[in-house]
Amino acid sequence: MTKNDYYSQENHGPYSLFDLGDFNLEEGGIIKNCQLAYSTFGSLNSKKDNAILVSTWYSGTSKIMEQVYVGVERAINPNKYFVIIVNQIGNGLSSSPDKVKNFAVASFPKVRIGDDVRAQHTLVTKYFGLSSLALVVGGSMGAQQTWEWAVKYPDMVKRAAPIAGTAKNTTHDFLFTKTLNEAIMSDPAWDCGAYKNPNAVIDGLRRHADLWSVMGYSTEMFKKELWRDLGFSSAEEFCEGFTQAYFAPMDPNNLLTLAWKWQRGDVSRNTDGDLKQALGRITAKMFVMPINTDMFFPPKDCEDNQKMVTNSELRVIATDWGHLGLFGMDPLYIKQVDQHLHDLLDTPV
């Protein structure tokens, strides 16, 4: 098995590892010696009430969340808050198909958003000794984890900001994710997940990236040629040099593990399928923050969820960059996110 250096401390660290021991999963599997990778910024105050938990999206790690969302002049300010960025299971830093030696690479067990949130809860309560979180925030799959946190542990979550993500995945989003999976799995080099060298699945990863180019940005972004802001001279060069290049070094089975989880994100699993009851459990002050041009977590779907949360506001972020505006390439996106998070953090709870 060829080693994949992409997920190294050099590229994505420094990060620490928290041992969960043998971790039982909702679907019945077990991850032996399960580890959560996390990074922290700032310090916990004496009252232990200044912790912010940041979750990660599909393909993302703590590194990009730090780079795009954390800073001393930002809403998530490490001079003021104790920021914990937790990598979700399967993302290549926490326990993942590509690194857990107890599993054949293709037989990593099915993991759910609820498993991640339970694991993260153990980290913040048992290891950091916290009994409350001033804010839980994340984008896309990170938003799915944010919703789950607010429903599962309402007493702990004081504020919550799911960005560009829903509480219960829609059929349409499920189908989009299915096409991502099929792009990878249809590559003969994927070999039913038994590939020896992840880089061999490059054709599948390239097609997978092209689907992101269609659904991840927006018509307007391409029409306005905003890729020029990132230094590219043609749309084709941007799709290859940015989107394809971003996904190329990743492990296909890691992505498939995350995608399976993404497709089935659903807080109503906590309440026997009753979404209204699940969202009714939320006591956090919540800002639901969809992106106006998002093609698969569209504002309407996020708003439908928001309306079921008592103490909530809909704060739509405007950017032509679509869902992948989450990467922060639009300075106005950053500005809006910070304004909303400032407002939210300034709200007494």
Give the interface with its own copies as residue ranges (CB under 8 A): 170-173, 175-176, 178-179, 182-183, 186-188, 203, 207, 210-211, 213-215, 217-223, 235, 239, 295-296, 298, 300-301
Catalytic residue flag (residue 323)? yes
- Closer to its own copies at the Cβ: 138 or 322? 322
Least distance in Å: CB of 168 to its own copies?
A: 11
- Closer to its own copies at the Cβ: 219 or 233? 219
Cis upstream peptide for 14 (omega within 30°): yes
Least distance in Å: CB of 235 to its own copies?
A: 5
Could you tell me the strand order of the sheet in which 51-55 lies? 16-24, 30-41, 82-86, 51-55, 135-139, 159-163, 285-288, 312-314
- Among candidate residues 39, 55, 62, 140, the one labeled active-site is 140
- Helix (H) or strand (E) holding 22, with range, is strand 16-24
- DSSP string covering 93-156: SSS-TTT-TTS-GGGPPP--HHHHHHHHHHIIIIIT--S-BSEEEEETHHHHHHHHHHHH-TTT
Q: Give the orientation angle of helix 171-185 with respect to helix 252-263, to 10 degrees.
A: 160
- Closer to its own copies at the Cβ: 173 or 266? 173
- Closer to its own copies at the Cβ: 46 or 171? 171
Least distance in Å: CB of 136 to its own copies?
A: 26
Catalytic residue flag (residue 155)? no
- Closer to its own copies at the Cβ: 90 or 216? 216
- Among candidate residues 12, 208, 323, 340, the one labeled active-site is 323
Lookup result for tokens 């492990």? 251
- Among candidate residues 115, 116, 294, 301, the one labeled active-site is 294
Least distance in Å: CB of 206 to its own copies?
A: 9
Least distance in Å: CB of 27 to its own copies?
A: 20
Cβ density class 152-184: b for 16+ within 10 Å, e for less: bbeebbbbbbbbbbbbbbeeebeebbeebbebb
Strand partners, 157: 133
H helix intervals, the chain:
9-12, 62-69, 113-122, 141-152, 171-185, 202-215, 219-223, 235-238, 245-247, 252-263, 275-280, 299-306, 331-346
Least distance in Å: CB of 321 to its own copies?
A: 13
User: Please, are residues 51 and 251 in contact by the beta-carbon 8 Å criterion?
Assistant: no
Structure tokens given for 29 = 């599997």
- Closer to its own copies at the Cβ: 106 or 189? 189
Catalytic residue flag (residue 140)? yes
**Residues forming the active site:** 140, 294, 323
